[in-house]
Structure 1
Amino acid sequence: MVQAITDKEFETVTDSGVTLTDFWATWCGPCRMQTPAIEELEQEMGETVKFSKMDIDQNPATAQSFGIMSIPTLMIKKDGEVVDTIVGYHSKDQVKEVLAKYI
């Protein structure tokens, strides 16, 4: 299962290895479309990538600190550094292709 995280947990969860954080909100239609793709990727790639999601309405500080203006936004970090950001809905295969560059 994709881990739901808070502003307080963000740096700890995403500080090592390859991580993908899905910034979303309950009212966002494209975010709801993105969720199944992320959950499937977590099943396939959970051994090599840590997947998490953050509700920006509940946890606005992290989204604000990274200048996230549109959701869904998928932030990919490697060893604590942001290496890629994907904005808007993307298919499972599209996201997997981006992740493959950092594994």
Structure 2
Amino acid sequence: MSKFSELINQDKPVLVDFFAEWCGPCKMMAPILKEVKDSVGDAVSILKIDVDKNQTLAATYQVRGVPTLLLFKNGKQLWRQSGVVQKNDLISLIKSHQ
């Protein structure tokens, strides 16, 4: 099993941020994700995946644009959205899947 598969197979929500270093909106997501982590603490794991360094993984999840956020729990994809997502929306999403 790959490391990524192990990470998303937790029984708590795992938020995956597919991003690229050159992407402006991705840079806007970084402080939002930090605030989300500060708010919900250990209730969620947050993974950042650089699409340029992990092209196979990005292709597996059909990530066409960045940033793309996916929420997993027990290995199942529960939610997906491309673009910048606001802090309160992410916190509500995470709490609804705890």
TM-score (norm 1): 0.87
For residues 22-41 of structure 1, the aligned pairs below 5 Å read 22-41=17-36
Q: Secondary structure at the match of 2:85?
A: coil
For residues 1-103 of structure 1, the aligned pairs below 5 Å read 8-16=2-10, 17-103=12-98
Give me the whole-angstrom Cα distance separating, in 1, the residues matched to 2:50 and 2:28: 15
**Structure 2 stretches lacking a partner, 5+ long:** none
Q: Once the 2 structures are TM-superposed, how far is the Cα of residue 49 of structure 1 from its aligned partner? A: 0.7
Percent of aligned positions that are identical:
28
Give me the whole-angstrom Cα distance separating, in 1, the residues matched to 2:48 and 2:39: 17
Give me the whole-angstrom Cα distance separating, in 2, the residues matched to 1:70 and 1:98: 21
Give me the whole-angstrom Cα distance separating, in 1, the residues matched to 2:92 and 2:23: 24
RMSD: 1.1
Give me the whole-angstrom Cα distance separating, in 1, the residues matched to 2:41 and 2:52: 26
**Structure 1 stretches lacking a partner, 5+ long:** 1-7
The count of corresponding residues between Structure 1 and Structure 2 is: 96
Give me the whole-angstrom Cα distance separating, in 2, the residues matched to 1:81 and 1:52: 15
Structure 1 consecutive aligned stretches of length 4 or more whose deviation exceeds 2 Å? none
Letter aligned with residue 10 of structure 1 = F
Higher helix share: 2
